[in-house]
Chains A and B, each alone.
Chain A
Amino acid sequence: MSKRNADYDFKWCPGCGDFGVKRAIEGALVERCATRNEPIEQTVIVAGIGCSGNLVHLQEGPQPFGIHGIHGRTLPIAYGVKSARPDLNVLVVSGDGDFLSIGAEHIGPQAKRNLDVTAVVMDNGVYGLTKGQASPTTEFEVVTPTTPYGKLDDRMQPLETYLAAGVGFIATAMSSQVKELQHLVLQAMDYPGFSIVHVQSPCTTYNDTYSLLKGDEKKGIEPLAFPIPESHDSSDFTQAMALALGHRIPVGLLYRREGDSVPSHERLSRAKVRANVKQASVEQLLAGMTI
């Protein structure tokens, strides 16, 4: 059930991190629409498969357009939307299971094209919707229903992947810090190119990492997440990579590439100018073939 649709029968579990992400995205969109005087219908949310993708149905307040597609293909769909309609604001909502398994194959090409969309990736280290199987960000040798004798693959390092692929804007956040997340999503949407906001969004049912992320002084658990220090130069690739490869999880703006960022649709229109492409009528095309 959602506020908009009483018949909608999908639910997130109590305490799910995705609630915080939903609130942050709602807030960021409201803020964006107000500052730019832009109708909410100018935004399209491309949703992946899994608990994260259901965010598109749970948005409260004024509704953007949405597309809930197929597993792993948020970026190709977003590429289609943005190429056909560069005027639209395109937001991808996805999870580690969707974005980093099948979906991982699309990160490289879209980063090199500099697709002008913002991907918000909700990482809970597990396939939650299908009941707790191992995902690319599940730890090595963890036992899950699909890895009964321990996971054989190493844990994927998403930040390292994004940096290596050439993503121009990379931020990380915690779902519990809604204000900070909202601010980062807004910044990412303003970035003229491919941007990713990677969010630690724990699954309270299958992989509850809240206390690991925040730490627990009484139990002597050091927090896994830490704020990126102010001394960090986010335009420095090497510094960003050093943070990405550490064992702890940095939170904040990790990397923003310096210099002009030419988005994919702009590259396409420049190529059209170079090719001197003119829209020809069918009659003109046929005339060119007449003998």
Chain B
Amino acid sequence: MNAFFHLCRWEVRRLLRTGTARATLGLLFVAGLLALGAADREIDRQAREIASLDAHYASALAVVAEHHAPRAHAGEIAYYTFFPTDHPAPALAKLSLGLRDLVPAAVWVRLLGLEGQLYSSAIGNPAIQALGPFDLAFVVCALAPLALLLLAHDLLSRDRDHGLLPLALTQAASLPRLFAARLLVRAAAVAAVCVALWVIALLWLALPFNLAALAWLADALLHLACWTAIAGLIAATCRSLSASLATAGTVWVGAVVVLPALLNLAVATAYPVPEGLALTVRQRQETHAGWDRPKPETFAQFFRTHPEWRDTAPVTVRFAWKWYYAMHQVGDTSVAADAATYRAHLLARAAATERLAWFVPPVAAQLLLSRRAGTDLESHLAYLDRIRAYHAQLQDHFLPLVFAEREITSADYAAFPRFRPVFSPASAGTALERLPLLLATFALAALSLRAVRRVTP
């Protein structure tokens, strides 16, 4: 063991003397810092947006109060009021943005039909969104494997090309031992850069040091372990320097660029989700068709979901707020099944992605890292559910006032229900989630061990 330790120390010194290795590790580090900065700015921007909600809400309420002084029908006040909801980014979002730059961090809701309000997007530059976020998760999933391959693909082929392999072997007891020392040293160097970036993130961005943060790092390192096995396999099987370089390049482009894009195409083709558009259009049509529908018909449908108002007297005037809100609720109810289908299809798509990720380590890692950070699709869907619950709460508050034809003054505004954001609890995840990456790592490690045993100088 002591001999192996000395061998490793010797390899570390050798590695750090080469310009290419220093440049590779340095560039990886700089890319990581830039990524941290980019993600930090994006999340801070969202935090500022969320922080401004209260002020916007207060000033909007002041305008409503001014226009409806001294008192006005509760239905009218509700019509003109926008209620803020927000989805604060979990702390680790600064490590992996996930979907955060696509989906809104805050949504205003009104007492009107909800389905048409849920699918608004964050204002963003489409050309920029299409590139995908630049965050530490991207560095870990895409760039770190490349750095590792660049450092480790030529473990043996370089010395062999130069005819130095026999000489190098005199330093070590055996070829597998030399191979292991060299591979582990290079993997450790890349891992050290990643750990350093993680530590910097924790200190610089003041992220909480907890189990989830540790689990994030563990997942990132697991992904690197998988790539260490891949690098080992390439180094052990390719005889010449140009062959190992070409193979490493092909494997990286395949795993990071081509396969994920190909899988994306396959998932989108196999699980089309046309409901998103159809749902929005239908909800709008259903709600507006309410204007032409006889009022008793609208109420009959409304009472089916809200039996507590069954005893309301028929509305005979041309317009009444209770009829207006009943009409919107009927619009929502009529697309409820569509909304459920849409959601089910989104989840089916996510599940299919997860299954396919078994075969592509960077995708598996991307999934794990965005789940650790709570920036995945599930977390956004959970936010939509909270908005639904809040909308129901608003109805519970306003409908009794509206059906009682109550007028309210600005003094009553303070009693409006407010949305309470939920900070998604940091979770360390389960062993099962990591099974694909673990299995891939073990399988590849076994293959490369077998290959190393067969290598001849």
A and B associate? no
